[in-house]
Structures are given as structure tokens and as C-alpha cells.
Copies of this chain bind each other. A is one copy, B any other.
Amino acid sequence: MTHTEYLWFNTKQRQEFVRITDEVRAIVQRSGVRDGMVLVSAMHITAAVYVNDWEDGLIHDFQEWLERLAPAGRPYRHHQTGEDNADAHLKRTLMGHQVMLPITNGDLDLGPWEQVFYAEFDGRRRKRVVVKVMGE
């Protein structure tokens, strides 16, 4: 059995981290799947989907850290196409662009601190995440 929905985002900031655990859980419950997995995957290549802590200080640390490892404003060759977002491609690569969450007893089977986030690195336009549930 499969069930597919899409989440849409249009962030106000160019970079923004959005918690989506509740939205994914609701999709799992609508799917009727009691045991299986759900794929949550960014469909745009300057955004990430990851699992980590729901704590603003840590999100700030992630953002500083990504800026240090994959800084904006460098003379990236990608920018010769007219783009200015090469760093966003690199940042999303560090965070990962998808997660697979286990479903047990009809609900997300997460550890005590696991939260799912959408991380936008080149926002202010409409973007999509696919959520596909598979199981029985």
C-alpha cells in the first residue's frame, strides 16, 4: 500500500528552518499504513530535509556551521550561469535532502528527541517536498 502527498513551502527568508514532524505524522495517519516507512524528500536542490533537535540554539549553530563550511559569496563557477546560490547547493548536501522514517503501530517510530525539519537555503519562492508512505 502506498500513499503520496506533497508539502509546499514559500519561505519569507532566503534561509529558513521549518519543523514538519506534525505534517508528516498527519500524512502517515491519513495513509492508513500501520507498519512501513515514509520517505520525506526535498524536490528542489537547494533545500534539505533532516532529523535533529528542536532547539533554536542548535539551529543557530547549524546555520553558523554551514556558513563556515559552505560559505556564500565565493566566486563559484555555478554563478557564471547567472545563479548566485551555489552555496545553497553545498549546504543542502551537508544536511542531506531526504529521510526515511519508520512507521510502527500506525505512527512515526521516532526517538525521544527526533524531529523532522525542512531547511531552505534559497527560499522566497514556491518549493515542494514529496512525502510517500509505503507499508501495510
Which residue numbers of A lie inside 8 Å of B, CB to CB?
1-2, 4, 35-37, 39, 41-45, 50-53, 55, 57-58, 60-62, 65, 69-70, 76-81, 86, 89-90, 93-102, 104, 109-114, 128, 130, 132, 134-136
Q: Contacts A2-B136, A62-B90, A93-B95; is A57 near B44 (CB within 8 Å)?
A: no
Give Cα A102–Cα B60 distance, bound, in whole angstroms: 31
CA distance in complex: A23, B57 (Å): 36
Q: Which of B90, B93, B130 contacts A102 (CB 8 A)?
A: B130
C-alpha spacing A39/B135, complex, angstroms: 13
Q: Which of B2, B36, B42, B98 contacts A35 (CB 8 A)?
A: B2
